[in-house]
Structure 1
């Protein structure tokens, strides 16, 4: 049993774990814990941990004690009573009892390891090295479990609450040592980095005690002022002696201001060495005060800027020679430097600009993108880069880069007007190509091309025009407006209404009608079109919409004009030649898509007509209702090899057939028609059973060398006089590699004919034996034969499809037969199957009642006996 100890630490979200393997999964998911473990191992704390492990072994009377850190594995960092080489060894988490204590975040007590199912099969336990175990998790100050302190006894022993409490306190001490080691490491690293940074920057420090007058400099500052440790006097006079006489008054004033206000001090000045060499020094500091607000000390730092000053002279020469414009601004936005190229680009001399405020010199800049970016750079201290246009008199595009500095803002700029012109042209070209690509994507392969064409106005507005209306010619040759769009949302309702009424009032001389008649583009002003429209709503709407001009672009097919795309342009704007060329290309693509859809529709109608001509209506035998369905694949206009059939044999028995010729093309459809005709002839010449009919069909296929493969199921419904009295019917059926029929019983249950055995496909071996199966059906039952297109999907297997079909049949069992088939198609293929689907269903109505109205009239050939009951062959 485990020790019952309350854990006040953060509970683990996983709760109790079943075994070390489960604990390992919990710990692997605790990524913050692993990160903490890595941080704590940055410093070797082994000496302190060894003492804690020894103390744990002594206080708890255990021969073995161990401290482990847990990351992706368990790592032993300290041990007592274990063999040499144990420290530093690694153990998988799932093989460690410590993983349980870490995962549950509470002490884990095991009095008898062999009897504990969670650790009993661990190697140390089975080897006899562990008889009892007590472990306490190491939880850091952030609440992460980073390891475990444990004690082990080779023989079973009880663990008291005192033992558990003692080990927990020792675990807390171990965590403290680990965190102290980590903090010490971080402190030493920070101190070293700070020192290296000070040395690398060449910074010296000073401390001026205002109460005693003592001035303390570090060695670097003493050297910077040309002193040695022996010659530096340690007072303010030593400082004053080295400051250049021309700078001394200014620097002294800055110090006094800082002291008076107990504020910051900043100054740059020259230092004159004893040999006459002059150095430049930049100093910054701050005055500290006591509790009464009196200034007590000035602390600060200084660094040598002589090299920077020399570099500044060189930079000035470079700025004057550079081919880019440059100017600098102070904190009041006044020009402090303007190079020669900036004079040329700005059309102003530096004498005109220096000392003048930017916003005054360039009055178009306030409130513009220039001001927005400049102020953002100064406010955030971050450089900015942007392109902007400045109006007349410059009237040009500029590429600018602005860098903030303590002195203000530095700006580099280039005139890019010509580049922008070329870039804009390239962007417009890219936009036109993107538009054509989008139009092509919308139209390519669209079976409903009219809907895709109706979407064109949303694509071409506003890229090519302000608004647009698309017109198509219907099957009767009449134009219809099918799509429209306006760039202004407020005007879209007006365009919709204008499209609804304009065609009824438009004369034959209107631009739209001329484009339809001639197949050529027609461009006209809106005033001219208004003059052609009679007074009324259409004319008023066009006046309100107020375009200046429009162009009617015919949507041409291969041999006819199938519609018109009309683009309208606002006043004061004329379409560019390249935009008109793009619009004509869009219209040509739309016309071709409409023509393809027209030809596709003709082809599909022809294919479906051919297919359906081969699938005749079923017979209507007495008290047996037969319903059929054929649904072609939605993805392409093609004929296929799926077929159904239903007919009466000479003896009066009803036979239904379902089949599928391998393939999806006209050859498969032709083979389907041939096989269907052969099977009909064989089955209606005699009263042969389903097996014999399929055998005869296989032999005929071999003799005629059809060279096709096909699956088929043939089922015959038979009834003797006795069965007629008992109200049952036999279904005798044979299967050639096809899916088995499903039976919906009168009680709504769905039976799959589990005893069936499918024979070889037709066309494989004409000598193959064809076996028959027989099932007795109650009147009121429904039998469904179907092809695999009903249950086949790309994202699921046939078993899943069969399950869906059975569930649908159970729910629809009470529906009329025609409604049942329609609903099955809707639920399983959404009316758009990925493959052709053929269905034939037979419902056996009760014979002791009149034939139901749902079954339709009773129509059978005259040669069929009045009494359909027949003995078994």
Structure 2
């Protein structure tokens, strides 16, 4: 009998690995090959997994590191810095760049989850080095622009150089002292600055005393003497210093090296820049080239300011020589004052004058040539002389004097513009005859303390000189009671930035009223003190006449 058919025996089935597990193993293998460090941390901050790049970063294998906190996984490793960056990155959701290891920079990204943190760490040292190099180049370029802006228009070279130290720190150095040398060869430190606020006062004190105590072998003395750059490690500088006070101060500055750069001018060294670099900081060729460019700009500025200062002093001396003391007029008291402008525009064209007309009447004049330079001062002297000549020609009145001066200017001084007011005191000072060419109006301080400005009754001013030689000049008269003061002044006495002409005029009138009854010299001095409040931005001239009471 045939055997019944039977099913073949069933083999034990093979259990396939789940696709998810295969995927995870493949992913782990792939991640393990990435150049960036990848690691996982549990909620307590312990390492649960890391790839080969992370092992290299931390300096130990996974078998040793897994289960240990990242911040102390390996003594001396960048783990502590990375652990702090992981926490910050997980909280902000943004990458965090951190210095870790021996000069390395790393970008840390962290994604939080139920199991802890998934972290990637990329070495960005090269990228950061390129960025830092670009930033330094931009800083150097900006520095040169700022130095040029600071020095190009400066008329006070010492003050500008004093601010130079703050510009070069910290772009080129950690500390800086600026030294200038006058034409007699005397050196003095005019400015200092340090990147460390705690060392600024120490550097300033050192700068106040060092020049008198530095030996001839010091870098500063050598640079001043030879006019060439000198650099030296600070220990070598300390070795040649004999004064214990300055030696201790330099030691306390904790500088590693010093670089001294001369400030060159056309014929001499006008100063030096002393740059103090902390230990570990070196001045590369590019930084040194920038520092030399700064020194050249500074030297040129000092030289230019010196020449301009000498020219200004000469022009001011000439200007003052022309502004002579007024003559004595019987029955009248005359006071004149001149105040030069601030350093930015010291020489101008303001002038006053007082003289007798051919008829014997006192004449007072105030004028202002447009401009603030030596050309304006020179023109002022010429116009002052011309006006005197016109006034003595046939005993012309104030209006005719101004018209004659306008004609002469058209012929001999074309292009020159000026304002002026001329006043003649007639009948022993009891009557004032006056004319005005675009100038601030004469002001009367009456014996009862009232103040009034003189105009021709139209409220309109007359044309300034140098615009139209044939312009009609008006003339007016006013009676003066004994004790009346006539004040002629230039616009620098009243005009202020940010104010209006009406407000400026009101301030003048109020101040004059307050000073009524004061002796005329004291009145003029106090008027200047109250209205100018220091050195004016424009030069100021005034002439005041008080009619006697006898």
CA distance in 2, matches of 1:543, 1:635: 40
Out of 86, 90, 93, the position equivalent to 1:383 is: 93
State the 1:750 CA deviation. Answer: 1.1
| Cα-to-partner distance string for 1:365-422 (whole Å, 9 max, x where unaligned) | 79833222334566x5x53421223326xx6332110011112101122122222333
User: Structure 1 residues 352 and 734 mapped into 2: Cα distance closer, same or farther (>3 Å)?
Assistant: same
Contact 2:364-2:423 at 8 Å conserved across structures: yes
- Counterpart for residue 405 of structure 1: 113
Q: Does 1:712 align with 2:425?
A: no
3-state DSSP class of the match of 1:682? helix
CA RMSD of aligned residues (A): 3.7
Out of 533, 543, 549, the position equivalent to 1:840 is: 543
Q: Does 1:742 align with 2:443?
A: yes
The structure with the largest alpha-carbon Rg is 1
Could you tell me which runs of 5 or more consecutive residues in structure 1 were left unpaired when the two chains were aligned.
Answer: 1-279, 281-305, 721-727, 848-873
| Cα-to-partner distance string for 1:281-319 (whole Å, 9 max, x where unaligned) | xxxxxxxxxxxxxxxxxxxxxxxxx9x999978866774
- Counterpart for residue 852 of structure 1: none
Out of 188, 204, 221, the position equivalent to 1:513 is: 221
Q: Does 1:660 align with 2:368?
A: yes
3-state DSSP class of the match of 1:808? helix
The 5 Å alignment of 1:698-709 reads 698-701=406-409, 706=414, 708-709=416-417
Q: Does 1:644 align with 2:352?
A: yes
3-state DSSP class of the match of 2:392? helix
CA distance in 1, matches of 2:125, 2:439: 74
The 5 Å alignment of 1:421-436 reads 421-436=129-144
State the 1:803 CA deviation. Answer: 1.7
CA distance in 2, matches of 1:424, 1:675: 62
User: Structure 1 residues 596 and 333 mapped into 2: Cα distance closer, same or farther (>3 Å)?
Assistant: same
Q: Does 1:799 align with 2:502?
A: yes
Q: Does 1:450 align with 2:155?
A: no
- Counterpart for residue 626 of structure 1: 334
User: Structure 1 residues 376 and 708 mapped into 2: Cα distance closer, same or farther (>3 Å)?
Assistant: closer
More moved, 837-846 vs 367-376: 367-376
- Counterpart for residue 5 of structure 2: none
Out of 323, 333, 349, the position equivalent to 2:45 is: 333
The 5 Å alignment of 1:99-110 reads none
More moved, 518-527 vs 799-808: 518-527
3-state DSSP class of the match of 2:480? strand
User: Structure 1 residues 338 and 701 mapped into 2: Cα distance closer, same or farther (>3 Å)?
Assistant: closer
| Cα-to-partner distance string for 1:601-639 (whole Å, 9 max, x where unaligned) | 123223333433443332222342222234455474575
Q: Does 1:553 align with 2:255?
A: no
CA distance in 1, matches of 2:178, 2:501: 45
User: Structure 1 residues 367 and 816 mapped into 2: Cα distance closer, same or farther (>3 Å)?
Assistant: farther
Contact 2:180-2:190 at 8 Å conserved across structures: yes
The 5 Å alignment of 1:250-261 reads none
| Cα-to-partner distance string for 1:492-515 (whole Å, 9 max, x where unaligned) | 555444434433344544432321
* Higher RCO (CA-CA < 8 Å; seq separation 6+): 2
- Counterpart for residue 103 of structure 1: none
| Cα-to-partner distance string for 1:529-563 (whole Å, 9 max, x where unaligned) | 45554456445544565655433221212321111
Could you tell me which runs of 5 or more consecutive residues in structure 2 were left unpaired when the two chains were aligned.
Answer: 1-17
Q: What TM-score results when the alignment is normalised by the length of structure 1?
A: 0.54
CA distance in 2, matches of 1:530, 1:705: 65
3-state DSSP class of the match of 1:368? helix
